[in-house]
Structure 1
Amino acid sequence: MLCIKGICAMDSLATHLARLAPLYGWGDASAITPLQPGFVAHAHRLETATHVAMVKTYDRQRAVTARMLEYAPFYLEVTAWLADQPALANRLTYPYALPQGGYLVDDGQYVSAVFNFIAGVTPRDTPLSMIQQLHLVTTVGLMHRITPQVPLPVIYRRETFAVRWDQAFDLLLHDEWDGLIPAVQAMLAPHRQVLGTLLTQLRMLGNQLWARDLPLVLCHTDIHGWNTLVTGDTTHLIDFEGLVLAPAEQDLFFWFDDPRWPEIFATYQQVVGGHQVDAAALLFYQLKRYLEDIYEWVAELVVPEISQTDYTRYAGELQRDLGRSVAMLDAGQRISTRLAAE
């Protein structure tokens, strides 16, 4: 039996991980160490005699995995190109290509991509300092500015403003309501009507935005403390699964409610050469992120094989987000008021 720092090869995940280093031509792994996992994937530090790397591994049994992998070749190829640009040097994580080409190792159950290892700190829910925040904003602005130069692959993701889960969410709130497990139903019940109203508003905004010809840039779509590594005043943006060509508001909305927004937006404008925030697009992305998070928590909670640990974690996240449902009804007014004051 192969055991590396407590991970043993009788475990199919351990077997999968142990096979990675030889596939990249790095020899056998000397250490494979678990890291703090994200919501969608396992994370490990992989060490060989010549390399230290970070491995991100998706489990096909997870409800969210198919969506995460749909455009994986696109985001991996484009991220590798972006990280190679001098302006973005040491600002992004990047994937290692396999000797035969491609970036994914798939054994049927587990799918892994291997990235450069950055020895930084994940701030998670701790706010970045102003210097760190503006460094991160500059990185995103550079990505947006460089978009016209990016050699896009044949298959890439482009914003359509159609929400892939809206019909399933609508069914959950109506026709499939009685089939929900009682505990999840009890959590959703006090917020059911408000969620339906927000979903209708999201659909209307999507239709309106699709009819407009908004400029599109490469957006990360998931900018927060769990997808950032910090070394001193330097930030490194990681986890590009959601990469998409979309209006800049897809990324900007993450910072709009930050008290430091004026400084953040001034820096962004300086990097990209000026930008006027589109209020409708900003509201669309705020509503979309809020409702998508709720839908995905529910999707995970109703998986029959879910562990008690995961159930407790996801239920807590769901209840936290549901607590903001009424406040989201006023999101449009808050956006208009703030933009009018600038």
Structure 2
Amino acid sequence: MQLIREDFILPFLKQLKQVLRKECASLPMDLKCLLGAHIKPLEQSIDRVEGLSEILRRSNPKMALCHTDIHNWNLMQRDEQLVLIDWEGLKLAPVKADLMFFVDKPYYDVFMNIYLKLHKDFLINTDALLFYHIRRKLEDIWEFIEQLLYDNQEDKERNETIKVLDGELNNLVF
């Protein structure tokens, strides 16, 4: 089995930038208005993640096996233990690829204190952490835009997608 190795490439960005810069005039009005209100932070996030991608590609960071999609839906409880499921994103990557899922959680500091006791030589690479955080945000935003552009959604579903996309856009980091 050939293991996938993190390459810090951002394949979805080309399409996202094309929609934001070239196709914006032809977007449905609800999507155009929503994106128009967030164009500056979106562009700043894109620029930031592209810069971090380049830095990380050149820095050759330490890699480990990572799940790359840790969230509540990928956790199951069995007796007194949590079991992590859905390993389709398994790859060699900096451990920040997994740690970034905990950054905005209220238990992050407690988690990191325990993690650092177990991994005494671990240093937080803020560039990698920020890269994964911004990349995930932009990937999610692009997925919602794709749904609005290409899926045949009923009004209620479309309104819900717009609402969730608006929340993601309001929480952009750069």
Pairs within 5 Å for 1:1-342: 153-154=1-2, 156-231=3-78, 233-272=80-119, 274-325=121-172, 328-329=173-174
The amino acid across from 1:177 in the alignment is: C
Q: Which amino acid aligns with 2:33?
A: A
Q: Can you list the C-alpha shifts for 1:144-194, whole angstroms capped at 9, x where unaligned?
A: xxxxxxxxx13x321111101111111111011112111111111110111
Q: Which one-letter code corresponds to 1:241 in the other structure? A: E
Query: TM-score of the superposition, structure 1-length normalised?
Result: 0.48
CA distance in 1, matches of 2:158, 2:27: 15
Choose between structure 1 and 2: higher helix proportion. Answer: 2
Deviations 1:35-91 (A, max 9, x none): xxxxxxxxxxxxxxxxxxxxxxxxxxxxxxxxxxxxxxxxxxxxxxxxxxxxxxxxx
Structure 1 residue 198: deviation in Å?
A: 0.8
Identity %: 28
In structure 2, distance between residues paired with 1:258 and 1:305: 34
Q: For structure 1, which runs of at least 5 residues remain unmatched after alignment? A: 1-152, 330-342
**Unaligned 5+ residue runs, structure 2?**
none
| TM score, norm. by length of structure 2 | 0.90
CA deviation string 1:192-229 (max 9, x = no partner): 11101110111011001100121111111121112212
- In the TM superposition, what is the alpha-carbon distance from 1:257 to its structure 2 partner? 2.9
* Structure with max Cα Rg: 1
Matched pairs, number = 174
Counterpart-to-counterpart distance in 2, 1:263 and 1:209: 27
Root-mean-square deviation (Å): 1.8
Distance 2:80 2:156 in 1: 35
1:288 CA drift (Å)? 0.6
Per-residue CA deviations over 1:102-153 (Å, capped at 9, x if unaligned) read xxxxxxxxxxxxxxxxxxxxxxxxxxxxxxxxxxxxxxxxxxxxxxxxxxx1
Residue identity opposite 1:176 in structure 2? E
